[in-house]
Amino acid sequence: MERLSWEQFFMAQCNLLAVRSTCTRLAVGAVIVRDNRIIAGGYNGSVSGGDHCIDKGCYVVDNHCIRTIHAEMNALLQCGKYGIPAAGSTLYVTHFPCLQCSKAIIQAGISNVYYGTDYRNSEYATELFAHAGIEVRQIPFDPRILDFEQAPKAEFVSELLQTIEQAGIPEDDLRRLSDKAESLFGN
């Protein structure tokens, strides 16, 4: 197995944090990093001790769940709560930050924002980041790299497809199954 780059390692951490999300609309994770060390992390969820979207449903106002604190904000608040300076650090996040989080990121003095997926990217947030001199860069992340059993699974599916082909399954059905296997396992 090939060793992950630091960028991919931190994006993997974001994706792992997103698994803790209690939002049913979008799971997001974020980490704040200084000197290749994680100083804070967050995921989108409700106020500590409050109702969670997974239990009570989203509380949507103007097409936005107001029950949820965003992952970036939770990471920044964790820095504040424990007295950890965020200035000069890098924020990694699974999705492009919303406008409100972008403003908080700027005010906290974050130097770089690396995100995995475009999500309602705000043109104004992009302008604010540029004006603040913050590097914003998309870092594509393939969550399949976290599946340490991917190779044996892919081999098993390949054997199954060969067996199915030998059994005489119609070509269209075989192509559909092969395409699905390709989307799950890649090359």
HEC profile of 8-50: HHHHHHHHHHHCCCCCCCCCCEEEEEECCEEEEEEECECCCCC
Spatial distance between the Cα atoms of 140 and 137, rounded to a whole number of angstroms: 10
Q: Which residues pair with 38 in a beta bridge?
A: 33
> Do residues 124 and 100 lie in contact, with contact meaning Cβ atoms separated by under 8 Å?
no
Catalytic residue among 72, 123, 135, 182: 72
Q: Is residue 72 among the annotated active site residues?
A: yes
CB-based burial of residue 24 (10 Å sphere; 0-12 exposed, 13-18 middle, 19+ buried)? middle
Distance of CA 171 to the CA centre of its chain: 37
Q: Which of 99, 128, 134, 127 is nearest to 113 (CA)?
A: 134
| Residues marked as catalytic | 72
